[in-house]
Amino acid sequence: MSAPGSPKMSGQKITLPSRPAGPPQSPTQTRSPSDGAAASGAAPAQAHSNFPPSLGYDPGRTETRAPLSHEERVGKRLDLPADAYLKADVGSTFASRSGFNTEGNSVMVSVNQYPVTRLANMDVSQYDVALSPEPTGGVVYDKVWKSKKVQQKLASVTPKPWIYDGRKLAWLAQAVDEMRIMVDLDEENGRKPKPGAEKKNVFYLTIRPTGKVRLMSLKAYLEKKAPWDNHVLECMSFLDHLLRQGPSERMTTIKRSFFHPSMPSYDLDLVLSAYKGVYASFRLSQNIKPIGLGVNVDVSNQAFWKANTADKMMKYIINVYGGVRKLPGMQVLNDQQVTDALKPVVRGNTLEPSEAFRAIRRLKGCRFTLLHRPEEKKEYKIKGFAFDKTGKIGGKDGMNSYHVKFNWKNNGTEKLISIRDYMREKYGKALIHSAGWPVIETTRAGSFPAEFCNIVSFNQYNFKLSPDQTAAMIKFAVQRPAQRKNDIAASVKRLDWANDKYLKAFGVTISPDMARTEAKVLKHPEVFFEKKTVRPMNTGRWDLRGAKFIEGNKQPLGLWGFFAFNSCVDMQNIKSFCQAFVPAYKAHGGKVANPVPGIVNLQCNPGTLMDCVNFHMSNIFKANKRYPEIVFIVVPDKSAHVYERIKKIFDCRYGVVTQVLQAPHVKAANAQYISNVCMKVNAKLGGQTSSLTATKAKPHGFFSRPTMMIGVDVSHASPGSDMPSIAAMCASVDRDGYQYRAAVETNGWRSEVLTNENIETMLPNFLKTYKQKAGCEVEHIYYFRDGVSEGQFAHVMKQEVAAIKKVFKARHNNAPGKDAKVTVIVATKRHHIRFFPDKGDRNGNCEPGTLVEKEVTHPFHYDFFLNSHHALQGTARPVHYHVLMDEIKAPVNQLQKMIYHQCYTFCRSTTPISLHPAVYYAHLAGARGRAHEALDYGDNPKVPEPVREKVNNPDGLVGKVQQDASTYSSEFKKNNPPPKLTRMPGFPESTIHDTMWWV
């Protein structure tokens, strides 16, 4: 079927020349701000003839594009089981649930999952959607699909509604023939082409049937009658788009969430606003009686750039992020201060962007409209801000509206004109604020001055929030369970499933009521100290009054130091704190041989801290022939870069454990604070806080064979940073899994799976230490993995477990029968499942030990949700534990009890923690590993630019010419592994590796 007015094509293939490339643009010029941006990929007009214009492509070809890749089939918005991500080259069978817990007390809870009560037994027709010529941007697909011509054509074929994924696929509840429709986007928008001008926005839409989505395939998988395959995946992909089609027409879609201006919002600061949205996603359900499918609905909190003119946003961003020293009492910089802050920085023979300029680059990707063309509804996207490191354009002033010029064709004449002058002559608009600021660049529409660009609502903020922004976001996001439950119910009403024409057309019905399920409350453990036993019960809290650690520090504290940063506390404050700390530590079971530390005042700035510390540590070593066992360091505030600087110096240069204290707490010397410090100090000096049994000699009974608990976490750099990933592995080295050791190292560039090199380097040392302390070899391993998505489960099984097995074989020289049994458990908190108990704690949360194995879990995989902690604020988020592989085969009751009880053994807490300690320790160690990155302090992007400048250029001379410290180039990352972390000294120089140095 051909569209009216389209050229007739014979069956014979024709070959047409490719579209000619446009003329190259001069690097010193940009396109006019008044140029209308043609849709990308549009074909140029051909020379005049009596025939229809050539299309520049063959619309008769059926191979319009390559088949969908595996990743495209899986998608990013679905909560899919791990089976969905298995490829032919990654074969794996995940552990199946052997039964449910039988020991806990039964309670009923509501869960924020809404059961699908009806799924029609039908085949859905699937269609391939293609545009010719192929556009470079996805937005053109959406414009063409929503055009009047296409919608009228679709309505004329069938009254049934279409589902469209915005790019390549469409679905319909009936079969129709192939359609081809010609769409002129200029005509759609009422833009008339100039006489003789080429038509740039003409596209041919092809809708071609490609097959059927058989919904019975999904039912067969849920009932374990068929394996996961592409048919099941196609069902889930279709259902996901079906769920979103209606809401996306009324609200803004961000990943799996929907937002609307009427939803609650909160200003985080001058530049950011937070909105509460609606999260909705299909999930497989253990309860297969109705369907085995549910919709997870939750409150979603997201930070967005505020809607404002770009010049004001630039000014505010520099005020918040730009590193500019503001005058006392000033909230916003004036125009001249902004102009000066945005000017390039001279580095030798080149120019570098200032910190203020790098700060405004955060606006890249934001959508905006044009204030000087109010009749135009089109949205543009910020590609960047003009910058020329050679200085040829604009020199030291930068590429601002005075210096960026283009050839303006006007009334048959052509002249070179600056953007500033063009705005005045063409639109009568004078630049008041931003004439001296860098102009905004777009991909295809030229450049614009900032004050005529209006940034629209719901531009997502994709960077790490600052501490102040994080505090404001938490204040906005935190909700008690009752409020969250009400907001979720309101979100379901907003989604309006009962009146959704798309759900009705495809025979899908979703219950408007939350699912209810049985939960188990596991028995709470007793926590043993020396001569004291605490029974937290359902409160989930205890205190250290009268409690002695089950094991104190191995060597009495003899040589220790107390360093104060720039006299943030005086000598008397330090002495008073020490006089309170020493007896408190002794009362808790610590051993102190020398109650008086060496006190040092560090008179330095962050840049000279290393030299200052080196001076004093050298003097200590000369006097004592050794370094201190621990150094307390008092800092004036929570400055993260100073903290990391301190940790790197002492960890990596001296191998000395440290305890950083904040000055206000030292001055107050509060007894509870000191007890908390005692727990951390005791762990760092080799002690153990508490136990699950009355004595260390009595085992807790969870291990039938010598067992090691391993936790692994791979963390990535914050959004916007190109720093490498860091892997942390923590392993228990005693018989009962209380004391851990850690190793950290870089792990590729944003690579989630632990490298073989890291496993083969880290694990042998832990096995050796276990043998030394426990007197036997490890036979069982519980391998807890954090931060792994379902798409990586198979890779963990294939790569990481295989590497662990290889290490064991190498340790035992491939002797038969010496291979350890491994149980792999993934623990994640990145989900939207919440519990609402009929009877909760005083805040309305589930009490610690609440276990849910039904309704929100997989139909047959071995997974469960456990709420092990007492939530102090907000709604508790349970941890989702997924057993991928189970060679140890501990009974279900015992495995779940072990995980829960061990959450009470975290060395620095008087509450059960939310996550198994092996994983929690790995997370802490990975965060510390960031401080060990092999960067000079003056090159570290986390250090404010004025501080880096003092380090790199202490005398005000021209600093060293170097790459922007915030990134490794893409070319470097392509051809090089990341640099290794700075090493900590080993034995005999230091025993830091044999401590819990990271807690």
pLDDT in tens, 899-921: 999 999 999 999 999 999 999 99
pTM: 0.87
**Average pLDDT over all residues of the chain:** 86
Q: Which of 412, 429, 456 is the last residue of a domain?
A: 456
Is the distance from CB of 850 to CB of 523 less than 8 angstroms?
Answer: no
Nearest to 898 by CA among 101, 47, 11: 101
In DSSP terms, which residues pair with 252 in a beta bridge?
Answer: 259
Say yes or no: 452 and 537 in one domain: no
Domain for residue 780, yes or no? yes
pLDDT in tens, 551-567: 999 899 999 999 999 99
Which CATH number characterizes residue 755's domain? 3.30.420.10
Q: What's the angle, vertex CA 297, arms to CA 87 and CA 885, rounded to 5?
A: 35
What's the whole-number mean pLDDT along residues 424-448? Answer: 90
Domain for residue 57, yes or no? no
In this predicted structure, what is the pLDDT of residue 965? Answer: 40
Say yes or no: 678 and 538 in one domain: yes
Q: Which of 663, 690, 717 is the last residue of a domain?
A: 690
In this predicted structure, what is the pLDDT of residue 9? Answer: 33
Is the distance from CB of 69 to CB of 168 less than 8 angstroms?
Answer: no
pLDDT in tens, 774-825: 999 999 999 999 978 887 888 888 899 999 999 999 998 888 878 899 999 9
Structure tokens at 291: 């369907």
pLDDT in tens, 203-222: 999 999 999 999 999 999 98
In DSSP terms, which residues pair with 740 in a beta bridge?
Answer: 732
Q: Which residue has the higher pLDDT, 79 or 164?
A: 164
What's the whole-number mean pLDDT along residues 321-339? Answer: 67
pLDDT in tens, 830-865: 999 999 999 989 899 999 999 999 999 999 999 999
What is the distance between the alpha carbons of residues 4 and 12, in angstroms, rounded to a whole number?
Answer: 21
Say yes or no: 657 and 621 in one domain: yes
In this predicted structure, what is the pLDDT of residue 59? Answer: 41
What's the whole-number mean pLDDT along residues 942-950? Answer: 52
Say yes or no: 898 and 804 in one domain: yes
Residue 257, number of CB atoms within 10 A of its CB: 24
Say yes or no: 332 and 371 in one domain: yes
Say yes or no: 720 and 626 in one domain: no
pLDDT in tens, 746-760: 998 888 899 999 999
Say yes or no: 819 and 686 in one domain: no
Query: Which 3 state secondary structure label does DSSP give 118?
Result: strand
pLDDT in tens, 50-107: 334 444 444 434 344 455 554 455 555 667 777 777 654 444 578 999 899 999 899 9
Say yes or no: 659 and 797 in one domain: no
In this predicted structure, what is the pLDDT of residue 954? Answer: 42
Does the pLDDT value for residue 11 go beyond 70?
no
Domain for residue 905, yes or no? yes
Query: Which 3 state secondary structure label does DSSP give 152?
Result: helix
What is the distance between the alpha carbons of residues 894 and 906, in angstroms, rounded to a whole number?
Answer: 19
How many domains does the chain fold into? 3
Does the pLDDT value for residue 876 go beyond 60?
yes
Of 26-30, 115-119, 467-471, 654-658, the poorest mean pLDDT is in: 26-30
Does the pLDDT value for residue 5 go beyond 50?
no
What is the distance between the alpha carbons of residues 409 and 400, in angstroms, rounded to a whole number?
Answer: 21
Domain for residue 697, yes or no? no
State how beta strands 598-602 and 560-565 pair: parallel
In this predicted structure, what is the pLDDT of residue 959? Answer: 35
**Amino acid of residue 843:** N
Domain for residue 792, yes or no? yes
Is the distance from CB of 610 to CB of 649 less than 8 angstroms?
Answer: yes
Place of tokens 């918040």: 320
pLDDT in tens, 499-513: 999 999 999 999 999
Domain for residue 90, yes or no? no
Which CATH number characterizes residue 643's domain? 3.40.50.2300
Say yes or no: 918 and 773 in one domain: yes
Q: Which of 640, 657, 690 is the last residue of a domain?
A: 690
Does the pLDDT value for residue 2 go beyond 80?
no
> What percentage of the chain carries pLDDT values higher than 90?
66
**Angle, helix 230-248 to helix 481-495, in steps of 10 degrees:** 90
Does the pLDDT value for residue 679 go beyond 60?
yes
Q: Which domain holds residue 373?
A: 308-456
Instruction: Name the most confidently modeled range: 307-311, 342-346, 946-950, 986-990.
Output: 307-311
Does the pLDDT value for residue 110 go beyond 50?
yes
Say yes or no: 336 and 432 in one domain: yes
Nearest to 171 by CA among 509, 510, 505, 508: 505
Place of tokens 């008690």: 480
In this predicted structure, what is the pLDDT of residue 13? Answer: 31
In this predicted structure, what is the pLDDT of residue 323? Answer: 58
In DSSP terms, which residues pair with 301 in a beta bridge?
Answer: 276
Domain for residue 745, yes or no? yes
In this predicted structure, what is the pLDDT of residue 615? Answer: 95
Which CATH number characterizes residue 375's domain? 2.170.260.10
**Amino acid of residue 400:** N
Does the pLDDT value for residue 156 go beyond 90?
yes
- Confidence class for position 194, pLDDT limits 50, 70, 90: low
Does the pLDDT value for residue 7 go beyond 50?
no
Nearest to 526 by CA among 516, 536, 518: 536
Say yes or no: 583 and 625 in one domain: yes
- Confidence class for position 464, pLDDT limits 50, 70, 90: confident
Q: What is the DSSP string of 431-469?
A: -SS-TTSBPEEESSS-EE-GGGEEE-S-EE--SPPPHHH
**Amino acid of residue 905:** T
Rg, the chain, Cα only: 32
What's the whole-number mean pLDDT along residues 512-522? Answer: 96
Does the pLDDT value for residue 389 go beyond 70?
yes
Q: Which residue has the higher pLDDT, 423 or 189?
A: 423
State how beta strands 657-662 and 630-635 pair: parallel
What's the whole-number mean pLDDT along residues 632-636? Answer: 96
Domain for residue 327, yes or no? yes
- Confidence class for position 322, pLDDT limits 50, 70, 90: low
Say yes or no: 371 and 401 in one domain: yes
In this predicted structure, what is the pLDDT of residue 862? Answer: 95
Q: Which residues contact 666 (CB under 8 A, 6 or more apart)?
A: 569, 573, 574, 577, 634
Does the pLDDT value for residue 49 go beyond 90?
no
